[in-house]
Structure 1
Amino acid sequence: MAAYVIFIREKIIDAEKLAEYRQSVGSTFKDHPVKLIAANGPQKTLEGESVDDILILEFPSYEAASNWYNSPAYQEASKTRLQGASFQVYITEGFAAK
């Protein structure tokens, strides 16, 4: 069953560090089956507080998503993400359509 990693960027702290993260994160997908579902597109807050950006990644399973997020390569890349902006990050499992 598919799983999703959802990044919600709340505030940019250091644009240069965030750009550095964007340059490095792509290489962390090399050994992981990931599909970019949504990123950097138009968005509208319907309820709650507005956010800067939303990114959604799809993986074939919860385990695959966890493996990518916890991989040494991503954990190293995420250091610059944390210096560049404040985020909320979630992992959630999808459901089988019936």
Structure 2
Amino acid sequence: MAAYAVAHLTDVSMGPDVVAYLEGIDGTLRPYGGRFLIHGGRVERLEGRWSGDLIVIEFPSLALARQWYASPAYQAILPLRLRHAKGLAFLVDGVPADHRATDVLAPAAG
């Protein structure tokens, strides 16, 4: 099942480090099947407050997303972003194509 790396970044200071991070990240994604779904696009706010940039990267599985984040290639460029942006980042499982909202009401398996 697909999984996603999600980041909500604020206070990004564009400069040489961030440019180097952006130039390097695509190469870190390829070996793990990662691809950008959202990368800081225009937000049309419907409810609540919003600021910053949203980034969503899809991976074929949570295991591959974890491997990407922990990979030496990504860890080598990550400090370039961390020094120049605030925010949060996390991994999250996707849902199957036939998922319905009420599926979350079912008791957890296990």
Tell me the TM-score normalised to structure 2 length. 0.78
The one-letter code of the counterpart of 2:19 is A
Alignment of 1:4-83 (within 5 A): 4-12=4-12, 14-16=13-15, 17-83=17-83
Give the direction of change, closer, same or farther, for the CA distance of 1:46–1:10 in structure 2 (3 Å limit).
farther
Q: CA RMSD in A?
A: 1.5
Q: Which moved more, 1:72-81 or 1:45-54?
A: 45-54
- Residues in 2 aligned to 1:22 and 1:57: alpha-carbon distance in whole angstroms: 14
Q: Which has the higher contact order (CA 8 A, sep 6+)?
A: 1
Deviations 1:25-50 (A, max 9, x none): 12212312012111121113444542
Structure number with higher strand proportion? 1
Tell me the TM-score normalised to structure 1 length. 0.87
> What are the ranges of 5 or more consecutive residues in structure 1 without an aligned counterpart?
none
> What are the ranges of 5 or more consecutive residues in structure 2 without an aligned counterpart?
99-110
Q: Which structure: larger Rg? A: 2
State the identity %.
29
